[in-house]
Chains A and B, each alone.
Chain A
Amino acid sequence: MIELRSLTRRYADRVAVDDLSLSVATGELLVLVGGSGSGKTTTLRLVNRLIEPTSGSVWIDGFDTHAEPAPMLRRRIGYCFQQVGLFPHLSVGQNVAITPTLLGWNAAEVAARVDELLARVALDPAAYRDRRPDALSGGEAQRVGLARALAARPRLMLLDEPFGALDPLTRENLQQAFTSIRRELNLTGIFVTHDMAEALLLGDRIAVLHAGRLVQVGTPSELLRAPADERVAELLRTPRRQAEALDALLGPSAQQ
């Protein structure tokens, strides 16, 4: 369970996150949506303290995240982002092994965990373990990124547009893989995206941000049924409009 309490992050010229309070239940995936500059990425990075808040706090399972050093906190939280950031001088296996290694797991335990995770993200351990990151496709790299984030058995995942740079087919594959993994492991997560369709498909609940403030939070059906304002309504209409346009295109042939 994650609680954001009156979280605020100010910069010299603007307020990125403004008095934001939210909570995510254990096993739940909360998707943050909003336009550019709405504060969704800043909010995510405030949770694992890649950014420190100006005021307010984040609590995880009843403990203030400031009770321990930031690197120790981050080892307990899986983190995935769009650019993946695999370490180019390490093999795929060493990349996946990094957090367990930092935590001091023994070598045999780490090796077993690496193979288990590669298999879980649908990469053959024997074929991929010793590859270099520069020999991977974009989709493979993000699978490895996901495996690296899951390596130290975090209860919590933070994902910042992890599938944003992938082709549609690969994206759909990974979305499904991620959903099955998080259900299986009962992971709690916060997922940032600007793709409304992805938000509706993946999220247990969706929080809409604008200018650093929370506009509305609720399940996809709650949002669809009763959007808080015109901005939310407009956001939700986008995927529907696209689906209708596609339907119109495909309609005649589908009826035959």
Chain B
Amino acid sequence: MREQLLLLPGYLTAHLQLSLAALCASALLAIPLGITVHRRPALEPALLGAASAIQTIPGLALLAVMVPLFAGVGALLAGGGISVRGIGAWPALVALTLYGLLPIVRNTVTGLAGVDPAVREAARGVGMTPTEELWRVELPLALPVIIAGVRTAAVWIVGTATLATPIGATSLGNYIFSGLATRNNAAVLVGCLAAAALALGLDQLIRMLEAGIRARRRAWWGAAVALLGALALYAGATAAIRAGRTAPAIAIGAKPFTEQYVLAEILRQQIEARTGIATRGVPSLGSTVAFDALSAGDLDAYVDYSGTIWATIMHRGDPGERRGALLAEVEQFLAREHGIAVAGALGFENSYALAMRADRARELGLSRISDLARRAPELEIGGDYEFFARAEWRALVAAYGLAFRAQRAMDPSLLYTAVRERQVDAISAYSTDGRIAALGLTVLDDDRRVIPPYDAIVLASARLAHEHPEVIAALRELAGAIDAAAMRRMNAAVDADGRSPADVAREFLERK
């Protein structure tokens, strides 16, 4: 817990910066939009419709689409010498700004429409121009309603900002994503409580501002403005300080599961120890986000799996060649199509596997996937979010004729609990997962060799390979250094023993 709390100032500050920046941008966009809609009611269906449509997109999806969008814009602007990062705070800021528009636009329109027609008549009658009427009469009278909209947006933005972690923006979501993935409930709890406290705090401050304006109590709204101003000042100053001293550190990514956190730490510590170049971690990235960021040059290195590249990037459905040949083909493809270098295979495979409780498998008499296929219509299977959309699942279905009674997609961290609690009969497991042994699960044999090999490989961006060959050399030293048993032990050290990925990585490098 102590270790988690040490991270709090950094995460909380980053979360505050992201949320306040998005809230300000939202308000600056939405209030003029609301005024425009009020003045030209013909625009209302189009503008409010667009803002509502954005709202219906799940927060995580809206954040995720920003990555290819920004990468595309970045590619367009690169010619002009402008660099736009596809992951990190900027795409998160844009997504959150869009997310906050609806409540503010809607309340601005409602607030302006609520001004008494007699007061409008008087404003025109005393000789106000439309602009004077807006500033002297309409906006002051609509202000409490507009601020109520800002308050709603603030709560939405602070909550949704926790989902900015998978696109590389630091937030309190870092606690939640890494905590869920490594079964660290303390981290999840700290992240959730801190995000809730921040949302409630902002909500109360803005409520005070609104109430002060409604009641025309200068002391109330003055205090609220002062406190909000102090928060904004703190967020702005810390952001400026950080921007001022940012050294070009090498960015190492990790997808949101334990093994990835451990491997990212191993990569970082190896690079820093061998080359002295600073690194920074970009944890909990979505699977394709990590690859897109690497090929766009926003990420310098991370560990991926040959089978993943084969299936999701190269879109190959066939199991293809055996291990070595597939690896060679993947390597060629990455170099040719994306300029990405493979700095060695770590020496173990983490393939998808189908696993069941040992007692359940015995009871049904199953040891191979062919056996499972016969009983599948009575059984339920659980898989991580990606699994059922992946080519190898389709290949499994096609090769074995798998048809389950039900299939459930869930967070990878919950899969093992689900199978242990008998909520599902089989799950998609990872072959290096420490919990396979810990929970006494049986891995079913892929007797028709459908699942492609999943060699863990270190991917490095073209920029890194070009500018820092010494880093590539340091990474190559890790080739073949980790076997499946070692990886399983390290995963279990985090998942079961509650040790930190950094600690486990340090121990591994010291022993090597």
Contact = CB atoms under 8 A, between A and B. Distances in A.
Select the residue from B119, B122, B124, B137 with max chain A CB neighbours within 10 A.
B122
A21 interface: no
A79 interface: yes
B81 interface: no
A88 B126 contact: no
Contact of A50 (B119, B121, B132, B216): B121
A102 B118 contact: no
B124 A148 contact: no
A206 to B, nearest CB: 24
Interface string A131-163: 010000000000000001100000000000000
Contact of A102 (B121, B128, B141): B128
A71 B128 contact: yes
B121 A88 contact: no
Interface string A78-99: 0101011111110000000011
Contacts of A185: none
A86 to B, nearest CB: 7
Contact of A85 (B125, B127, B216): B125
A228 interface: no
Interface in A53-72: 69, 71-72
Residues of A in contact with B, size category: 20 to 34
Interface string B115-138: 010111111111111001000110
A220 B118 CA distance: 32
Contact of A99 (B121, B127, B129): B127
Interface in A106-148: 132, 148
B377 interface: no
A171 interface: no
Given A89-B140, A102-B132, A84 B118 contact: yes
A165 B124 CA distance: 22
Contacts of A149: 126
A98 B125 contact: no
A74 interface: yes
A85 B119 contact: yes
Contacts, number: 63
B213 to A, nearest CB: 9
Given A87-B137, A89-B141, A102 B119 contact: no
A98 B124 contact: no
Contact of B125 (A69, A81, A89): A81
Contacts of A84: 118, 122
Given A83-B118, A87-B119, A87-B122, A72 B141 contact: no
B220 to A, nearest CB: 16
A40 interface: no
Interface in B410-467: none
A132 B215 CA distance: 12
A190 B376 CA distance: 90
A74 B123 contact: no
A85 B132 contact: no
B121 A83 contact: yes
A48 interface: yes
Contacts of B128: 71, 102
A74 B122 CA distance: 11
Contact of A74 (B118, B127, B137, B216): B127
Contacts of B123: 85, 87
A75 interface: yes
Contacts of B124: 50, 71, 74
Contact of B126 (A72, A83, A102): A102
A81 B121 contact: yes
Interface in A156-213: none
B129 to A, nearest CB: 5
B122 A86 contact: yes
B129 A71 contact: yes
A99 B122 contact: no
Contacts of B127: 71-76, 99, 102
Contacts of B125: 48, 50, 74, 79, 81, 85
Contacts of A85: 116, 118-123, 125
Contacts of A71: 124, 127-129, 132
Interface in B136-171: 136-137, 140-141
B170 to A, nearest CB: 42
Nearest to A133: B119
A148 B126 contact: yes
Contacts of B119: 85-88
A104 to B, nearest CB: 12
Interface of B: 116, 118-129, 132, 136-137, 140-141, 216
Pairs A-B, 10 closest by C-beta atoms: A85-B122, A75-B127, A83-B118, A79-B125, A74-B127, A85-B118, A71-B129, A71-B127, A99-B126, A89-B140
Given A79-B122, A99-B126, 15 more contacts: A48-B125, A50-B125, A74-B126, A76-B127, A79-B126, A81-B125, A85-B118, A85-B121, A87-B119, A87-B122, A88-B116, A88-B141, A89-B141, A89-B216, A149-B126
17 contacts: A69-B129, A71-B128, A71-B129, A72-B127, A74-B124, A85-B120, A85-B121, A85-B122, A86-B119, A87-B119, A87-B122, A87-B123, A89-B137, A89-B141, A102-B126, A102-B132, A132-B216
